[in-house]
Amino acid sequence: MATATLPPRRLRPAVRGAHPLRYVVARVGQAVVTAFLAYVLVFVIVTVLPGNPVEASLRSPELGYTDAEIDELLGYYHLDRPVWVQLWYALRRLVLHNDWGISLAAGRPVVDVIADGVPATLQLASVAVVLAALIALVIALGVFHLPADQGGDLLRSFPSLFLSLPNFLIGLVIIDVFAFGLGWFRITDDHGWAALVFPAICLAIPVSAPIAQVLVTALDGARAEQYTTVAVAKGIGRRHLLVRHLLPNAALPTLTITAIVVGDLLGGSMITEAVFGRPGLGSVIAAAATVQDVPVLQAAVTLAAVIFLAINLVVDLIYPYLDPRLRTQAAR
């Protein structure tokens, strides 16, 4: 049987000189501007809230600040000045000194308080996104290879089922079966592979649903294209067709939805940490919300926005290397 002679999909740089650099600079600039606007928006929303939440928190008996310490912190945040002046000083501290403020509850720099929880949350989210991608890939490959009456239609229903399952319910089932029933891990222990893998599975199952839906739809669309029909008619193998042509064409929409669900991943990781009793950014935010620690809450929201923007930026920069048409647009 003759071997198919489809054109190779080796991706080579189609643009040279200043054009790729201009494309990268433009995308990075957009991300920086968006992050700046996110910080300003969060700052303004928090600052214009009635009742001055920062001052109210400082005067809470639970924190135990003296009048002199309260006056010092009020001067530090310039709360006696207009909003735009407060914003100017906050941006100046942030840009020149990487100073996010002082935690009202801990009395420590906000960056230190946030840093206590970020590594654990990023570790959990990273493992979860890998598991979510693997689950989505297994579902898509199963749908591709199995006939509809032999399990293909059943696999197509999995994303809808996963999407309807909330994190806390999956977490409670995992704890009941694997912690209490089988004794594979203890929810009071945040060390070891089980303490990371089971929360990651809890987080990955609902996140995998939209990725699987988009990947299955993209593969279905690619199979319906004319080049696929020609390739099959020329005798190209099913595996070669999938790996060489269908999956690369399905990569763009799959990467897009993966970047979009990162926001859900970060939010879900905080819920999952609470269910499994894991330390992380979720516990930091929960403690800050309890005592109205506004600087910590503001930094956490801004950090989540920056992480989301950074991941979308990386995906955006990868696009031209996956699709030659986008490389041509980047060169203009």
227-247 confidence digits (pLDDT tens): 777 777 767 777 777 777 777
In this predicted structure, what is the pLDDT of residue 5?
A: 43
3-state secondary structure of 101: coil
For the segment 284-327, what is each residue's pLDDT rounded down to a tens digit?
Answer: 887 787 777 778 888 888 888 888 888 878 877 777 666 655 55
Q: How far apart are CA 35 and CA 178, in angstroms?
A: 41
Structure tokens at 321: 């290397």
Structure tokens at 78: 């310039």
Question: Are 117 and 282 spatial neighbours (Cβ–Cβ below 8 Å)?
Answer: yes
pLDDT exceeds 70 at position 193: yes
Give the whole-number percent of the chain exceeding pLDDT 70.
79
For the segment 40-80, what is each residue's pLDDT rounded down to a tens digit?
Answer: 888 887 766 655 666 666 676 666 677 777 777 777 777 77
In this predicted structure, what is the pLDDT of residue 155?
A: 83
In this predicted structure, what is the pLDDT of residue 243?
A: 73
Give the mean pLDDT of 128-132: 90
User: What confidence category does residue 15 fall into, taking pLDDT thresholds of 50, 70 and 90?
Assistant: very low
Q: What is the DSSP letter of 184?
A: S
Which residues of the chain does CATH 1.10.3720.10 include?
A: 119-290
Please state which CATH number belongs to domain 119-290.
1.10.3720.10
Give the whole-number percent of the chain exceeding pLDDT 90.
1
Give the mean pLDDT of 164-183: 79
Closest CA to 129 of 248, 31, 213, 210: 210
Which residue intervals of the chain are DSSP H helices?
18-47, 53-58, 67-77, 83-97, 110-145, 152-163, 167-174, 193-223, 226-233, 238-241, 247-260, 262-276, 281-290, 294-322, 324-330
User: What confidence category does residue 134 fall into, taking pLDDT thresholds of 50, 70 and 90?
Assistant: very high
Please give the full DSSP string across 235-274, using - where no structure is assigned.
T--HHHHIIIIIHHHHHHHHHHHHHHTHHHHHHHHHHHHH
